[in-house]
Structure 1
Amino acid sequence: MELEHKFCQPGGESAPGIILSDGLRIEGYASLFGTPDQGGDIVAPGAYAASLQRLASEGRAVRMLWQHDPAQPIGLWEEVREDGRGLYVKGRLLEAVEKSREAAALIAAGAIDGLSIGYRTVTAVKDRQGRRLLRELELWEVSLVTFPMLPSARVAAKGETSSAETLRDLALALDAARRDLAGD
């Protein structure tokens, strides 16, 4: 079973940075539906639903890691859910963990602002452009990273995205999924 990560090298599109609230609380989108990442993959709405349901039924949680390193858990995701925009995460860095304090300092300074997912592809199809439409994913972890594969996967402050932006993103995601399913 191969674990994949969404990670990229420098030079990607810029996006708003992480805003840390209450010192160690973080939230944002780890994945956006219908938005191609730098590898050309597109996550379809509902791709995480079965995995999140399975984790909940087994009493397990999505892990919060530092730079996808399984030896460096740095906090807890207290909320992981799909909404109309993508995979929303909300959690806290653990103050007792040295790497968490370092991460908080890096976030506060603006040196780190990315989120990235670790997952296994369950179901995917290729569209006419050769991109993978990821229809079902087994989510393992969401990491704080320097360079996310999806440049807009960032931690944000509450209320940073307006409802108009959310509706626009949802419309774009649904249109992209419709085109991919139709083979356009």
Structure 2
Amino acid sequence: MIQGYASLWGVADLNGDVVQAGAFADSLAKTGAQGVRMLNQHDARAPVGVWDEIIEDERGLFVRGRIEDWSPEARFAAALSRAGAMDGLSIGYRTARARRQGRLRVLSEIELWEVSLVTFPMLPGARFGLG
């Protein structure tokens, strides 16, 4: 079992994107957690598990799921996670609504496609732990 925050409200990532609270609500209402893929390093050819729960809370986008044992990529991602060599999360999405605020892009509506396990997250605070 892994869990953590894939996005944090009001925190700029390294690319200058800031996610506004509630940005995922419509997308999650349509697909639920089962419609969001768990990938390794954003590789669509490498699903490594499933998300059992994805919710927006007061801090950000909280995710909980399981890395499965169904492929070499999944076993490798699990081993890296257990060793503490990989603990980042990163979202794959389509921007539905955004606005400029100085150098930042504020995302107010996001169509969430996937949450990846990554070595280096674009949002440094987007991390997971084993639970």
Q: TM-score, normalised by structure 1?
A: 0.68
What amino acid is the match of 1:87? L
96, 107, 117: which one pairs with 1:144? 117
- The corresponding residue for 2:31 is 55
Structural mapping, 1:85-104, within 5 Å: 85-104=59-78
For 1:27 and 1:157, the matched residues in 2 are separated by 7
Contact 2:90–2:117 (8 Å) recurs in 1: yes
Shift of 1:29: 0.3
Structural mapping, 1:161-176, within 5 Å: none
For 1:60 and 1:141, the matched residues in 2 are separated by 10
What amino acid is the match of 1:43? V
For 1:106 and 1:66, the matched residues in 2 are separated by 11
- The corresponding residue for 1:40 is 16
Shift of 1:101: 1.3
2:56 is aligned with 1:82:
yes
What amino acid is the match of 1:61? G
Secondary structure of the corresponding residue to residue 6 of structure 2: strand
Shift of 1:52: 0.3
For 1:69 and 1:92, the matched residues in 2 are separated by 17
94, 100, 119: which one pairs with 2:93? 119
Deviations 1:75-112 (A, max 9, x none): 00000111111010000011232211111111122211
Aligned residues: 131
For 1:41 and 1:64, the matched residues in 2 are separated by 22
- The corresponding residue for 1:29 is 5
Instruction: Give the structure with the higher percent helix.
Output: 1
Change (3 A) 1:150 1:53: same
4+ runs deviating over 4 angstroms? none
Secondary structure of the corresponding residue to residue 111 of structure 1: coil
What amino acid is the match of 2:6? A
CA RMSD of aligned residues (A): 1.4
Instruction: Give the structure with the higher percent strand.
Output: 2
- The corresponding residue for 1:107 is 81
| Fraction of identical pairs, as percent | 55
Structure 1: any 5+ residue segments left out of the alignment?
Answer: 1-24, 159-184
Larger Rg: 1
